[in-house]
Chains A and B, each alone.
Chain A
Protein backbone atom coordinates (compact mmCIF):
# COMPACT_ATOMS: atom_id res chain seq x y z
CA UNK A 1 0.00 0.00 0.00
CA UNK A 2 1.34 3.40 -0.91
CA UNK A 3 0.55 6.08 1.60
CA UNK A 4 -0.35 9.42 0.13
CA UNK A 5 2.11 12.16 1.10
CA UNK A 6 0.75 14.53 3.68
CA UNK A 7 -0.60 17.86 2.64
CA UNK A 8 1.34 20.58 4.43
CA UNK A 9 0.05 24.13 4.39
CA UNK A 10 1.67 27.31 5.68
CA UNK A 11 -0.71 28.96 8.12
CA UNK A 12 -0.61 32.52 9.46
CA UNK A 13 2.13 33.42 7.02
CA UNK A 14 3.71 36.87 6.79
CA UNK A 15 4.10 38.23 3.26
CA UNK A 16 7.35 39.66 1.97
CA UNK A 17 7.14 41.06 -1.55
CA UNK A 18 10.18 41.90 -3.65
CA UNK A 19 9.61 44.24 -6.58
CA UNK A 20 12.20 45.14 -9.20
CA UNK A 21 11.78 48.79 -10.12
CA UNK A 22 12.15 49.43 -13.88
CA UNK A 23 14.98 51.64 -15.12
CA UNK A 24 16.44 51.80 -11.64
CA UNK A 25 19.92 52.06 -13.12
CA UNK A 26 18.92 55.49 -14.45
CA UNK A 27 16.96 56.59 -11.41
CA UNK A 28 19.39 55.62 -8.67
CA UNK A 29 22.29 57.93 -9.66
CA UNK A 30 19.83 60.81 -9.83
CA UNK A 31 18.60 59.96 -6.34
CA UNK A 32 22.14 59.76 -4.99
CA UNK A 33 22.82 63.18 -6.45
CA UNK A 34 19.58 64.59 -5.06
CA UNK A 35 20.17 63.17 -1.59
CA UNK A 36 23.71 64.51 -1.48
CA UNK A 37 22.41 67.98 -2.34
CA UNK A 38 19.63 67.77 0.20
CA UNK A 39 21.67 66.34 3.06
CA UNK A 40 23.66 69.43 4.13
CA UNK A 41 20.59 71.63 4.47
CA UNK A 42 18.31 68.91 5.69
CA UNK A 43 20.31 67.75 8.72
CA UNK A 44 17.64 65.74 10.42
CA UNK A 45 17.05 65.21 14.13
CA UNK A 46 17.14 61.41 13.96
CA UNK A 47 20.62 61.24 12.48
CA UNK A 48 23.56 59.95 14.44
CA UNK A 49 27.15 58.95 13.73
CA UNK A 50 27.31 56.49 10.83
CA UNK A 51 23.63 56.97 9.98
CA UNK A 52 21.87 59.87 8.31
CA UNK A 53 18.08 59.86 8.34
CA UNK A 54 16.14 62.52 6.52
CA UNK A 55 12.84 64.04 7.47
CA UNK A 56 9.87 61.95 6.40
CA UNK A 57 8.63 64.34 3.71
CA UNK A 58 10.45 62.74 0.78
CA UNK A 59 7.23 62.12 -1.13
CA UNK A 60 6.45 65.84 -0.95
CA UNK A 61 9.67 66.87 -2.67
CA UNK A 62 9.14 68.54 -6.05
CA UNK A 63 12.33 67.23 -7.71
CA UNK A 64 11.74 64.89 -10.62
CA UNK A 65 13.74 61.90 -9.28
CA UNK A 66 11.78 62.04 -6.04
CA UNK A 67 8.50 62.15 -7.97
CA UNK A 68 9.53 59.16 -10.07
CA UNK A 69 10.61 57.26 -6.98
CA UNK A 70 7.33 57.96 -5.22
CA UNK A 71 5.39 56.71 -8.23
CA UNK A 72 7.45 53.55 -8.47
CA UNK A 73 7.23 52.81 -4.75
CA UNK A 74 3.46 53.27 -4.75
CA UNK A 75 3.20 51.14 -7.87
CA UNK A 76 5.30 48.44 -6.23
CA UNK A 77 3.35 48.47 -3.00
CA UNK A 78 0.08 48.32 -4.91
CA UNK A 79 1.29 45.37 -6.95
CA UNK A 80 2.13 43.45 -3.77
CA UNK A 81 -1.12 44.43 -2.08
CA UNK A 82 -3.13 43.44 -5.15
CA UNK A 83 -1.39 40.09 -5.29
CA UNK A 84 -2.24 39.42 -1.66
CA UNK A 85 -5.87 40.41 -1.83
CA UNK A 86 -8.93 39.53 -3.85
CA UNK A 87 -10.11 42.98 -4.83
CA UNK A 88 -12.74 43.62 -7.42
CA UNK A 89 -11.40 45.31 -10.58
CA UNK A 90 -10.70 48.94 -9.81
CA UNK A 91 -11.28 48.53 -6.09
CA UNK A 92 -7.67 49.14 -5.06
CA UNK A 93 -7.54 52.28 -7.21
CA UNK A 94 -10.52 53.64 -5.30
CA UNK A 95 -8.47 53.74 -2.12
CA UNK A 96 -6.61 56.86 -1.13
CA UNK A 97 -2.91 56.19 -0.51
CA UNK A 98 -1.35 57.89 2.49
CA UNK A 99 2.40 57.62 2.85
CA UNK A 100 5.49 59.01 4.49
CA UNK A 101 8.92 58.50 3.03
CA UNK A 102 12.47 59.19 4.09
CA UNK A 103 15.95 58.22 3.06
CA UNK A 104 18.75 56.81 5.13
CA UNK A 105 22.44 56.65 4.48
CA UNK A 106 24.21 54.00 6.49
CA UNK A 107 27.98 54.08 6.60
CA UNK A 108 30.42 51.44 7.74
CA UNK A 109 29.73 50.40 11.37
CA UNK A 110 26.29 51.97 11.25
CA UNK A 111 23.00 50.21 11.74
CA UNK A 112 19.32 51.01 12.04
CA UNK A 113 17.67 49.81 15.23
CA UNK A 114 14.59 47.65 15.38
CA UNK A 115 11.38 49.42 14.47
CA UNK A 116 7.79 48.88 13.47
CA UNK A 117 5.29 51.48 12.35
CA UNK A 118 2.03 52.19 14.16
CA UNK A 119 -1.01 53.31 12.17
CA UNK A 120 0.56 51.92 9.04
CA UNK A 121 -0.34 48.91 6.95
CA UNK A 122 2.73 48.40 4.78
CA UNK A 123 6.41 49.17 5.01
CA UNK A 124 8.38 49.44 1.80
CA UNK A 125 12.15 49.63 1.65
CA UNK A 126 13.83 50.62 -1.60
CA UNK A 127 17.55 50.21 -2.13
CA UNK A 128 19.24 53.08 -3.96
CA UNK A 129 22.82 51.95 -3.44
CA UNK A 130 24.62 49.22 -1.57
CA UNK A 131 28.25 48.31 -1.09
CA UNK A 132 29.53 44.98 -2.27
CA UNK A 133 28.49 42.21 0.13
CA UNK A 134 31.12 41.35 2.68
CA UNK A 135 32.79 38.05 1.90
CA UNK A 136 33.15 37.20 5.57
CA UNK A 137 30.19 38.94 7.21
CA UNK A 138 27.06 37.43 5.77
CA UNK A 139 24.66 39.62 7.74
CA UNK A 140 26.38 42.89 6.92
CA UNK A 141 23.75 45.51 6.16
CA UNK A 142 20.87 43.10 5.69
CA UNK A 143 17.25 43.88 6.38
CA UNK A 144 16.44 41.60 9.28
CA UNK A 145 12.78 40.77 9.83
CA UNK A 146 12.21 39.59 13.36
CA UNK A 147 10.64 36.30 14.27
CA UNK A 148 7.11 37.00 15.46
CA UNK A 149 5.74 33.56 16.25
CA UNK A 150 5.26 32.94 19.93
CA UNK A 151 5.70 29.20 20.14
CA UNK A 152 9.43 29.00 19.68
CA UNK A 153 10.31 28.60 23.34
CA UNK A 154 10.13 24.84 23.20
CA UNK A 155 12.49 23.35 20.66
CA UNK A 156 13.50 19.80 19.95
CA UNK A 157 15.46 18.08 17.23
CA UNK A 158 12.61 18.39 14.74
CA UNK A 159 10.96 21.76 15.13
CA UNK A 160 14.20 23.70 15.37
CA UNK A 161 15.39 22.75 11.87
CA UNK A 162 12.24 23.02 9.77
CA UNK A 163 12.52 24.14 6.18
CA UNK A 164 11.48 27.49 4.81
CA UNK A 165 8.87 28.94 5.34
CA UNK A 166 8.55 27.12 8.65
CA UNK A 167 12.11 27.74 9.85
CA UNK A 168 12.10 29.37 13.29
CA UNK A 169 14.09 32.54 13.74
CA UNK A 170 14.64 35.85 12.00
CA UNK A 171 14.66 36.15 8.21
CA UNK A 172 16.87 38.44 6.21
CA UNK A 173 16.84 40.16 2.85
CA UNK A 174 19.93 41.70 1.35
CA UNK A 175 19.16 45.10 -0.17
CA UNK A 176 19.88 45.15 -3.88
CA UNK A 177 19.92 48.46 -5.76
CA UNK A 178 16.71 48.79 -7.73
CA UNK A 179 14.73 46.38 -5.59
CA UNK A 180 11.86 47.20 -3.28
CA UNK A 181 10.90 45.02 -0.30
CA UNK A 182 7.31 45.26 0.92
CA UNK A 183 6.11 43.77 4.20
CA UNK A 184 3.57 44.46 6.95
CA UNK A 185 4.51 47.58 8.89
CA UNK A 186 3.72 45.84 12.17
CA UNK A 187 6.66 43.52 11.62
CA UNK A 188 9.67 44.51 13.70
CA UNK A 189 12.71 44.92 11.50
CA UNK A 190 16.18 46.42 11.51
CA UNK A 191 19.17 47.02 9.30
CA UNK A 192 22.04 45.01 10.68
CA UNK A 193 25.40 46.61 11.23
CA UNK A 194 27.10 47.45 7.93
CA UNK A 195 30.56 45.93 7.96
CA UNK A 196 31.57 46.80 4.41
CA UNK A 197 33.19 50.06 3.38
CA UNK A 198 30.84 52.22 1.36
CA UNK A 199 27.33 53.51 1.82
CA UNK A 200 24.03 51.75 2.00
CA UNK A 201 21.33 54.15 0.80
CA UNK A 202 17.76 53.15 1.47
CA UNK A 203 14.39 54.79 1.12
CA UNK A 204 11.71 53.70 3.55
CA UNK A 205 8.02 54.29 3.02
CA UNK A 206 5.21 53.70 5.41
CA UNK A 207 1.99 53.30 3.50
CA UNK A 208 -1.68 52.85 4.24
CA UNK A 209 -4.85 52.86 2.19
CA UNK A 210 -8.05 54.61 3.13
CA UNK A 211 -11.20 53.29 1.53
CA UNK A 212 -13.96 55.72 0.53
CA UNK A 213 -15.87 56.65 3.66
CA UNK A 214 -13.52 54.77 5.97
CA UNK A 215 -13.13 56.24 9.44
CA UNK A 216 -10.96 55.48 12.43
CA UNK A 217 -7.57 55.94 10.79
CA UNK A 218 -5.63 58.03 13.28
CA UNK A 219 -3.34 60.88 12.34
CA UNK A 220 0.36 60.28 11.88
Chain B
Protein backbone atom coordinates (compact mmCIF):
# COMPACT_ATOMS: atom_id res chain seq x y z
CA UNK B 1 0.00 0.00 0.00
CA UNK B 2 1.30 3.44 -0.85
CA UNK B 3 1.16 5.94 1.97
CA UNK B 4 -0.60 9.06 0.75
CA UNK B 5 1.51 12.18 0.81
CA UNK B 6 0.30 15.06 2.89
CA UNK B 7 0.45 18.45 1.24
CA UNK B 8 0.58 21.15 3.86
CA UNK B 9 -0.37 24.71 2.94
CA UNK B 10 -0.13 27.89 4.97
CA UNK B 11 -3.30 29.91 4.64
CA UNK B 12 -3.92 33.52 5.64
CA UNK B 13 -0.25 33.97 6.42
CA UNK B 14 1.16 37.29 7.62
CA UNK B 15 4.29 38.36 5.73
CA UNK B 16 7.09 39.39 8.01
CA UNK B 17 10.42 40.72 6.79
CA UNK B 18 13.76 41.21 8.47
CA UNK B 19 16.78 43.07 7.21
CA UNK B 20 20.07 44.12 8.73
CA UNK B 21 22.19 47.14 8.02
CA UNK B 22 25.84 46.07 7.95
CA UNK B 23 27.88 47.84 9.13
CA UNK B 24 25.54 50.00 11.21
CA UNK B 25 27.77 51.39 13.95
CA UNK B 26 28.69 54.73 12.37
CA UNK B 27 25.18 55.51 11.19
CA UNK B 28 23.61 54.51 14.49
CA UNK B 29 26.02 56.67 16.45
CA UNK B 30 25.17 59.67 14.28
CA UNK B 31 21.45 59.00 14.59
CA UNK B 32 21.62 58.51 18.34
CA UNK B 33 23.54 61.73 18.80
CA UNK B 34 21.09 63.66 16.64
CA UNK B 35 18.01 62.19 18.30
CA UNK B 36 19.25 62.85 21.81
CA UNK B 37 19.97 66.47 20.88
CA UNK B 38 16.44 66.80 19.58
CA UNK B 39 14.66 65.10 22.43
CA UNK B 40 12.78 68.32 23.17
CA UNK B 41 9.35 69.87 23.03
CA UNK B 42 10.09 71.32 19.62
CA UNK B 43 10.48 67.89 18.08
CA UNK B 44 8.01 65.97 20.24
CA UNK B 45 4.85 64.58 18.67
CA UNK B 46 2.22 67.15 19.67
CA UNK B 47 -0.73 64.84 18.98
CA UNK B 48 0.11 61.35 20.21
CA UNK B 49 -2.49 58.77 19.29
CA UNK B 50 -2.08 56.95 22.60
CA UNK B 51 -1.57 57.99 26.17
CA UNK B 52 1.94 59.39 26.13
CA UNK B 53 4.43 57.85 28.54
CA UNK B 54 6.99 60.31 29.79
CA UNK B 55 9.63 57.56 29.81
CA UNK B 56 9.26 57.19 26.06
CA UNK B 57 9.90 60.19 23.87
CA UNK B 58 8.06 60.14 20.55
CA UNK B 59 9.13 62.54 17.84
CA UNK B 60 6.98 64.18 15.22
CA UNK B 61 6.16 61.98 12.27
CA UNK B 62 8.22 63.94 9.75
CA UNK B 63 11.60 62.39 10.48
CA UNK B 64 12.40 61.45 6.89
CA UNK B 65 11.95 65.08 5.86
CA UNK B 66 14.93 66.06 7.97
CA UNK B 67 17.83 66.99 5.69
CA UNK B 68 20.62 65.56 7.83
CA UNK B 69 22.74 63.05 5.94
CA UNK B 70 22.40 60.32 8.56
CA UNK B 71 18.61 60.58 8.45
CA UNK B 72 18.55 60.45 4.67
CA UNK B 73 20.88 57.46 4.70
CA UNK B 74 18.49 55.64 7.03
CA UNK B 75 15.53 56.77 4.92
CA UNK B 76 17.07 55.17 1.84
CA UNK B 77 17.78 51.95 3.69
CA UNK B 78 14.34 51.64 5.30
CA UNK B 79 12.18 52.68 2.35
CA UNK B 80 14.16 50.55 -0.10
CA UNK B 81 13.67 47.62 2.24
CA UNK B 82 9.92 48.26 2.39
CA UNK B 83 9.80 48.46 -1.41
CA UNK B 84 11.66 45.16 -1.58
CA UNK B 85 9.16 43.70 0.86
CA UNK B 86 6.32 44.79 -1.41
CA UNK B 87 8.02 43.22 -4.43
CA UNK B 88 8.60 39.97 -2.55
CA UNK B 89 5.02 39.66 -1.36
CA UNK B 90 2.89 41.10 -4.17
CA UNK B 91 2.63 40.85 -7.94
CA UNK B 92 4.18 44.30 -8.28
CA UNK B 93 7.59 44.77 -9.85
CA UNK B 94 10.10 47.48 -9.21
CA UNK B 95 8.92 49.49 -12.19
CA UNK B 96 5.35 49.30 -10.91
CA UNK B 97 6.35 50.68 -7.54
CA UNK B 98 8.29 53.44 -9.24
CA UNK B 99 5.01 54.63 -10.72
CA UNK B 100 3.39 54.91 -7.30
CA UNK B 101 3.58 57.75 -4.85
CA UNK B 102 5.40 56.27 -1.89
CA UNK B 103 4.42 58.08 1.30
CA UNK B 104 5.45 57.63 4.88
CA UNK B 105 5.12 58.79 8.44
CA UNK B 106 8.35 58.19 10.27
CA UNK B 107 9.40 58.96 13.82
CA UNK B 108 11.83 57.92 16.52
CA UNK B 109 11.32 56.65 20.04
CA UNK B 110 13.73 57.03 22.93
CA UNK B 111 12.78 54.83 25.86
CA UNK B 112 14.23 54.97 29.32
CA UNK B 113 13.61 52.92 32.46
CA UNK B 114 10.00 51.64 32.58
CA UNK B 115 9.21 53.11 29.18
CA UNK B 116 6.79 51.11 27.07
CA UNK B 117 4.30 51.48 24.25
CA UNK B 118 0.81 50.08 24.37
CA UNK B 119 -0.43 47.55 21.81
CA UNK B 120 -1.54 49.31 18.65
CA UNK B 121 -1.74 49.05 14.90
CA UNK B 122 -1.59 51.69 12.20
CA UNK B 123 -4.80 52.55 10.36
CA UNK B 124 -4.43 54.18 6.95
CA UNK B 125 -1.09 52.57 6.25
CA UNK B 126 -0.22 49.34 4.46
CA UNK B 127 3.32 48.54 5.60
CA UNK B 128 5.14 49.35 8.80
CA UNK B 129 8.75 48.87 9.82
CA UNK B 130 10.87 49.31 12.92
CA UNK B 131 14.64 49.88 12.83
CA UNK B 132 16.78 49.55 15.93
CA UNK B 133 19.30 52.31 16.50
CA UNK B 134 20.22 51.22 20.01
CA UNK B 135 18.99 48.07 21.70
CA UNK B 136 19.58 49.29 25.22
CA UNK B 137 20.91 47.36 28.16
CA UNK B 138 19.89 43.73 28.54
CA UNK B 139 18.67 43.00 32.05
CA UNK B 140 18.95 39.31 32.96
CA UNK B 141 16.17 39.40 35.55
CA UNK B 142 13.86 41.03 32.96
CA UNK B 143 14.25 38.82 29.87
CA UNK B 144 11.27 40.49 28.20
CA UNK B 145 12.55 44.02 28.78
CA UNK B 146 11.97 46.23 25.74
CA UNK B 147 10.68 43.41 23.59
CA UNK B 148 8.82 44.22 20.38
CA UNK B 149 5.85 41.87 20.61
CA UNK B 150 3.47 41.09 17.76
CA UNK B 151 0.08 39.81 18.82
CA UNK B 152 -1.42 36.85 17.04
CA UNK B 153 -3.86 38.16 14.45
CA UNK B 154 -5.92 34.99 14.72
CA UNK B 155 -7.73 36.35 17.75
CA UNK B 156 -9.74 33.65 19.47
CA UNK B 157 -7.98 30.84 17.61
CA UNK B 158 -6.54 29.66 20.93
CA UNK B 159 -9.90 29.58 22.69
CA UNK B 160 -10.10 25.83 22.37
CA UNK B 161 -6.86 23.97 23.01
CA UNK B 162 -6.22 20.28 23.33
CA UNK B 163 -3.03 18.20 23.10
CA UNK B 164 -3.21 18.23 19.31
CA UNK B 165 -3.07 21.98 18.83
CA UNK B 166 -1.42 23.32 21.97
CA UNK B 167 2.13 22.80 20.68
CA UNK B 168 1.81 23.82 17.06
CA UNK B 169 5.15 24.68 15.46
CA UNK B 170 5.92 28.03 13.88
CA UNK B 171 4.38 29.47 11.81
CA UNK B 172 1.24 27.81 13.14
CA UNK B 173 1.89 28.33 16.86
CA UNK B 174 -0.93 30.13 18.65
CA UNK B 175 1.22 32.65 20.43
CA UNK B 176 2.67 36.12 20.08
CA UNK B 177 5.96 36.62 18.24
CA UNK B 178 8.62 38.53 20.14
CA UNK B 179 11.71 40.31 18.93
CA UNK B 180 14.55 41.54 21.06
CA UNK B 181 15.81 43.94 18.44
CA UNK B 182 19.52 44.41 17.91
CA UNK B 183 21.21 47.52 16.62
CA UNK B 184 21.00 47.61 12.81
CA UNK B 185 18.09 45.16 12.69
CA UNK B 186 14.86 46.12 10.95
CA UNK B 187 11.56 44.27 10.87
CA UNK B 188 8.71 44.89 8.39
CA UNK B 189 5.10 43.83 8.68
CA UNK B 190 1.58 44.71 7.54
CA UNK B 191 0.31 47.75 9.41
CA UNK B 192 -2.81 45.93 10.63
CA UNK B 193 -0.82 43.69 12.96
CA UNK B 194 -1.14 44.78 16.58
CA UNK B 195 2.21 45.20 18.28
CA UNK B 196 3.59 46.62 21.50
CA UNK B 197 6.85 47.41 23.22
CA UNK B 198 7.10 45.89 26.67
CA UNK B 199 8.50 47.94 29.56
CA UNK B 200 12.19 48.62 29.13
CA UNK B 201 14.17 48.08 32.33
CA UNK B 202 17.65 49.00 31.15
CA UNK B 203 19.54 51.82 32.84
CA UNK B 204 20.34 53.46 29.52
CA UNK B 205 18.25 54.17 26.41
CA UNK B 206 16.49 52.09 23.81
CA UNK B 207 16.19 53.95 20.50
CA UNK B 208 14.16 52.89 17.49
CA UNK B 209 12.86 54.42 14.28
CA UNK B 210 9.42 53.42 13.04
CA UNK B 211 7.79 54.12 9.71
CA UNK B 212 4.30 53.68 8.33
CA UNK B 213 4.09 53.53 4.55
CA UNK B 214 1.28 53.84 2.07
CA UNK B 215 1.20 54.01 -1.71
CA UNK B 216 -1.07 55.83 -4.14
Whether B159 pairs with A186 at a CB distance below 8 angstroms is yes
- Tell me whether chain A's interface is mostly helix, strand or loop, or mixed: loop
Chain B residues with CB below 8 A from A164, complex form: none
Chain A residues with CB below 8 A from B159, complex form: 116, 118-119, 186
Q: Which chain B residues have a beta carbon within 8 Å of chain A's beta carbons?
A: 51, 53, 113-114, 116, 118-119, 121, 123-124, 141-142, 144, 149, 151, 155-156, 158-162, 176, 191-192, 194, 196, 198-199, 201
Q: Which residue of B lies closest to A219 (CB)?
A: B162
Q: Which chain A residues have a beta carbon within 8 Å of chain B's beta carbons?
A: 48-49, 109, 111, 113-114, 116, 118-119, 138-139, 144, 146, 148, 152-155, 160, 170, 186, 188, 190, 192-193, 195, 218
Give Cα A154–Cα B149 distance, bound, in whole angstroms.
23
Chain A residues with CB below 8 A from B160, complex form: 118-119, 218
Chain B residues with CB below 8 A from A154, complex form: 123-124
Give Cα A109–Cα B113 distance, bound, in whole angstroms.
9
Give Cα A48–Cα B155 distance, bound, in whole angstroms.
27
Whether B144 pairs with A218 at a CB distance below 8 angstroms is no
Question: 16 A-B contacts, Cβ less than 8 Å apart?
Answer: A48-B141, A49-B201, A109-B199, A118-B161, A119-B161, A139-B118, A146-B194, A148-B155, A152-B121, A152-B123, A153-B124, A153-B192, A193-B116, A195-B114, A218-B160, A218-B162
Chain B residues with CB below 8 A from A114, complex form: 119, 149, 151, 176, 196
Chain B residues with CB below 8 A from A48, complex form: 141-142
Contacts A146-B194, A170-B118 given: A111-B199 contact, CB under 8 Å? Answer: yes
Whether B198 pairs with A113 at a CB distance below 8 angstroms is yes
Chain A residues with CB below 8 A from B142, complex form: 48-49
Give Cα A152–Cα B49 distance, bound, in whole angstroms.
14
Give Cα A48–Cα B114 distance, bound, in whole angstroms.
15
User: Chain B's nearest CB lies how many Å from the CB of A192?
Assistant: 7
